[in-house]
Structure 1
Amino acid sequence: MKTPFITKEQAEEIISKYPTPFHIYDEKGIRENARKLYKAFSWNKGFREYFAVKATPNPFILKILQEEGCGVDCSSLTELMMSECCGFSGSDIMFSSNVTPKEDMLKAKELGAYINLDDFTHIEFLDKLCGLPETVCCRFNPGGHFEIETQIMDNPGEAKYGFTREQLFEGFKILKAKGVKHFGIHAFLASNTVSNAYYPKLARILFELAVELREKTGADISFINLSGGVGIAYEPDKPQNDILAIGEGVHRAFDEILAPAGMGDVAIFTELGRYMLAPYGHLVTKCVHQKHIYKEYIGVDACACNLMRPAMYGSYHHITVLGKENAACDHKYDVTGGLCENNDKFAIDRMLPEIDNGDILVIHDTGAHGFSMGYNYNGKLRSAELLLKEDGSVQMIRRAETPADYFRTFDFCDIMDKYLK
């Protein structure tokens, strides 16, 4: 079973100051997980994790990860700006974008970030816009299906990202002719894999590609970025990834492919978001209504605006009713929010303990792609984000939105003045 990192007593104390719903993150768990990742790849002297800012874009979270040695993976101008304000610059930043506006590219170049080009045409785009840096990374898309042990994990051929193999070789030649001195290779072939085989399989593909690229283009490849894709098991009865086993699998591939080719100094990078943060975030909400019609419904004060994944993907998120952890799960409920959309459901036909109005529900594994995917449909306001610190205290790291925030972009007219004060 999944165990919340807060108790009912802690939750009640927090709620007395910060009303539900809110997202809360576990600092201790985040730090321990980051250290475990670095241990798993300690065999590679250049290893670095570039946390995917898109997963949890909060400066307090970024500062914690910065203290643990992580860089940041940014995909937009505002993510670059946030990272800059947190003290990231130069090789601390990996800029992996697509359909990239010129303002975003200019900011990445200004900060000295590693720029990861998503498309062959972006070579000319970047060169004309602001010139090519000495180090350039290119994103590879092998096409077709990506399989592990005969199981199709994803379909890169249908993804909008990356260079084809032919474009990559031609692109490296062009970049080298234009004066680029150092190169990186990046690929993301499957999302949220729960398999210790994913990174090692991807690593072998990229390591073999790197050897061939150096042989045929003469490029100096300084790093290989395995990107994200290492996920978590959202279901409580499924095994989690073993990052130490994953790191050792990549190590074996490195020793078998890169080291014999004289490329033993290549750095390995990762861009993890979900793996780094998801288990260390909860969406905390209260039961505010019950409905008894053709099904039994539990209405909570959170909605899909606070956590979109179940509505968007049909994703499973485990739910704990605080104080009833040991009660029999003998009631079948749909757990719903209050949006005017029938897919606004955190759980469907979920067996849970009997729930009463006022009960506190913890929705697990919301630390990544939870708050960050929020929106304001139906005029719903984004919740607060809180941090459970290592000493047990709780810090607000983003306040809840107010109606004035929602109306703020009407500040060019006086219609909403009464709400903007």
Structure 2
Amino acid sequence: MKKEPFVTLEQLKEIDKTYPTPYHLYDEKGIRENAKRVKEAFAWNKGFREYFAVKATPNPFLINILREYGCGCDCSSMTELQMADALGFGGDEIMFSSNATPAEEYQFARQINATINLDDFTHIEFLEKCAGIPEKISCRYNPGGVFKMSNGIMDNPGDSKYGFTHEQIIEGFKILKEKGVKTFGLHAFLASNTVTNEYYPLLAKVLFELAVELKEKTGVAVKFINLSGGVGIDYRPEQEKNDIMVIGEGVRKVYEEVLMPAGMGDVALYTEMGRFMMGPYGCLVTKAIHQKHIYKEYIGCDACAANLMRPAIYGAYHHITVMGKDNSVCDHKYDVTGSLCENSDKFAIDRMLPKVDVGDFLVIHDTGAHGYSMGYNYNGKLRSAELLLKEDGTVQMIRRAETDRDYFATFDFCDILKDIKWRE
């Protein structure tokens, strides 16, 4: 199988006249088509809403595109809450899922009437003291143990820092009910980046059965269930894509098997996908600027791990296309590197590619989620621009590149740096 870039070499050459590499580029057409499919996949559930995980791609231009398809925002910090509020999202459109949460963040979430998704049993008392208990609340469940799927994919919720235990969530619901909560929700995240259509249905079964148990043991009728994220993307060309229509149908089947017989056919379903919503519709565009021939063959790029850190910290695979050489034989083995003073600053190790020449455009695929958002300033590297390839083929800058003035702006003793020669 082959991964095709959503941008052509001719388009990149045109973009290069205005915007230098490196930059993150997003595909408006792909984002819109995918958001429409997600909405259709769960249209059978009247209360369905996708709460886009803002942490994945915190760009207002992209979030506003998703909003056109009914998406809300899943926020995990004060600044994400502030962004959602500033964009005009109302309380019901904002889910606040955080952990080790500072008091001021709970207070602001209450102020804008966001739905709070409590991560810990002890936070019931903490929230009551710092901000008060709202009438609507969600609780995050962690069943512990190991979560397995038939294709061998597994994760270990028991080793995760998130959520209530089984005993805690039953007790927590009783306490919250006594404190005046009228609308309850459930949430869980049990596996990350799953490339299988069975993850959501399996997770749904866990949460649906818990909802029925909670109704029996606490008298609480859960009104919404948040399947969170975890639906992955095919980073590798040989992987088969998730089919959101099949996933939605699988969840519907479990809904009818578990919730309907319990008289809970009005439960709204939520998702909070980031990677699936945006990942394949972004890429990091960089140029080969050096070749190095020592014990291995290296291609040095003008992008580095500060632009995309997943390969450096996770060993994550991101496919690379050498633009203009898509049909050439991949008969050269390279490490594709950046310029950070870290040997882990490699986008690919021993990757078979066509012969790469200095000046070639390299497209690093699937950086639309957890790409730009995980960037940093190590070695004084400046954050790159974000560009949107619009449906009509034009390009819009949706975040400018950082400048050296940005980097130094947070120093309180800028007079010490008064002789810096700023780049124009």
- After TM superposition, the score normalised by the length of structure 1 is 0.99
2:201 aligned counterpart, secondary structure: helix
Q: Could you tell me how far apart the structure 1 residues matched to 2:67 and 2:49 are?
A: 11
Aligned-partner residue type, residue 322 of structure 1: M
Cα distance per residue 1:154-201 (max 9 Å; x no partner): 000000000000000000000000100010000000000001010000
Partner SS for 1:185: strand
Q: Does 1:293 align with 2:294?
A: yes
Deviations 1:282-312 (Å, cap 9, x if unpaired)? Answer: 1000000000000000000000000000001
Q: Secondary structure at the match of 2:223?
A: strand
Q: How large is the Cα RMSD of the aligned pairs?
A: 1.0
Match of 1:368? 369
Which residue of structure 1 aligns with residue 217 of structure 2? 216
Task: Verify the 8 A CA contact 1:139 1:161 in the aligned structure 2.
Answer: yes
SS of alignment partner, residue 348 of structure 2:
strand
Mapping of 1:261-276 within 5 angstroms?
Answer: 261-276=262-277
Query: 1:413, CA displacement in angstroms?
Result: 3.7
Residues 52-131 of structure 1 correspond to what in structure 2 (within 5 A)? Answer: 52-131=53-132
- 1: CA distance between counterparts of 2:342 and 2:130? 44
> Partner amino acid for 1:30?
I
Structure-1 residue corresponding to 2:157: 156
Conserved in 2, the CA contact under 8 Å of 1:48 and 1:270? yes
Residue identity in the other structure for 2:299: I
* Structure 2: gaps spanning 5 or more residues: none
Aligned residue in 1 for 2:24: 23
- Structure 1 unpaired stretches of 5+: none
Q: Give the match for residue 14 of structure 1.
A: 15
Q: Which amino acid aligns with 2:342?
A: E
Partner of 1:406: 407
Question: Quick one: which amino acid aligns to residue 202 of structure 1?
Answer: L
In structure 2, what is the equivalent of residue 170 of structure 1?
171
Kept after mapping to 2: 8 A contact 1:194/1:232 = yes
* Counterpart-to-counterpart distance in 2, 1:401 and 1:9: 26
Query: 1:325 matched to which residue of 2?
Result: 326
**Which amino acid is the alignment partner of residue 233 of structure 2?**
I
Corresponding residue for residue 4 of structure 2: 3
Whether contact under 8 Å (1:184, 1:225) holds in the other structure is: yes
Q: Secondary structure at the match of 2:410?
A: helix
Q: CA deviation at 1:358?
A: 0.3
Supply the distance in 1 between the matched residues of 2:139 and 2:297 (Cα, whole angstroms): 51
2:398 maps to which residue? Answer: 397
Residue matched to 1:250 = 251
Deviates more, 1:274-283 or 1:103-112: 103-112
CA distance in 1 between partners of 2:48 and 2:421 (Å): 48
Within the alignment, does 1:197 sit opposite 2:198 as a pair?
A: yes
Report how far residue 68 of structure 1 moved. Answer: 1.4
CA contact (8 A) 1:305 1:380 kept: yes
8 A Cα contact 1:53 1:72, kept in partner: yes
Partner of 2:239: 238
Distance change >3 Å, CA 295–CA 420, structure 1 → 2: closer
Aligned partners of 1:383, 1:242: CA distance in 2, in Å? 32
Q: Return closer, same or farther for 1:2/1:95 CA change in 2, 3 Å cut-off.
A: same
Q: 8 Å contact 2:304–2:337 — kept in the other structure?
A: yes
2:196 partner SS: coil
CA–CA separation in structure 2 for the residues paired with 1:69 and 1:420: 47
| Contact persistence 1:404–1:420 (CA under 8 A) | no
Percent sequence identity is 71
Counterpart of 2:39 in structure 1: which amino acid?
Answer: Y
Contact 1:145 1:152 in 2 (8 A): no
Give 1:303's aligned residue.
Answer: 304
Q: Shift in Å at residue 103 of structure 1?
A: 1.3
More displaced 10-residue stretch of structure 1: 80-89 or 146-155: 146-155
Is structure 2 residue 178 aligned with structure 1 residue 180? no
> Partner amino acid for 1:359?
D
Q: How is 1:342-381 mapped onto 2 (pairs within 5 angstroms)?
A: 342-381=343-382
Rounded Cα–Cα distance in structure 2 between residues aligned with 1:304 and 1:312: 9
Match of 2:41 in 1: 40
Q: Distance in 2 between matches of 1:62 and 1:201?
A: 29
**Kept after mapping to 1: 8 A contact 2:233/2:241:** yes
TM-score by length of 2: 0.98
CA distance in 2, matches of 1:256, 1:395: 47
Preserved contact between residue 330 and residue 355 of structure 2 (Cα < 8 Å): yes
Tell me the distance in 2 between the aligned counterparts of 1:325 and 1:173. Answer: 60
Shift in Å, 1:418: 4.0
Q: Measured at CA, do residues 409 and 393 of structure 1 come closer, stay the same or move farther in structure 2, by a change above 3 Å?
A: same
**1:16 to partner: Cα distance:** 1.1
Between the two proteins, the alignment pairs up a number of residues equal to 421
Q: Displacement, 1:419? A: 4.2
1:417 partner amino acid: K
Match in the other structure for 1:340: 341
Native 8 Å contact 2:121 2:172 kept in 1:
yes
Partner SS state of residue 106, structure 2: helix
Distance, in Å, in 1 between the alignment partners of 2:151 and 2:60 is 41
In 1, distance between residues paired with 2:240 and 2:359? Answer: 33
Cα distance in 1 for partners of 2:272, 2:188 equals 10
Report SS of the residue matched to 1:142.
Answer: coil
- In structure 2, relative to structure 1, the CA distance for the partners of 1:81 and 1:392 (3 Å cut) is same
Is this contact kept in 1: 2:97–2:117, CA < 8 A? yes
C-alpha displacement of 1:89: 2.0
SS in 2 for 1:409: coil
Cα deviation for residue 15 of structure 1 reads 1.2
Distance 2:102 2:241 in 1: 38
Paired with 1:184 and 1:387, the residues of 2 have a C-alpha distance of 36
Q: Distance in 2 between matches of 1:130 and 1:355?
A: 57
Deviation at 1:148, TM superposition (A): 1.0
Distance 1:357 1:102 in 2: 52
Give, as a single letter, the amino acid of the residue that structure 1 aligns with 2:112.
L
Query: How many Å apart are 1:119 and its aligned residue?
Result: 0.1
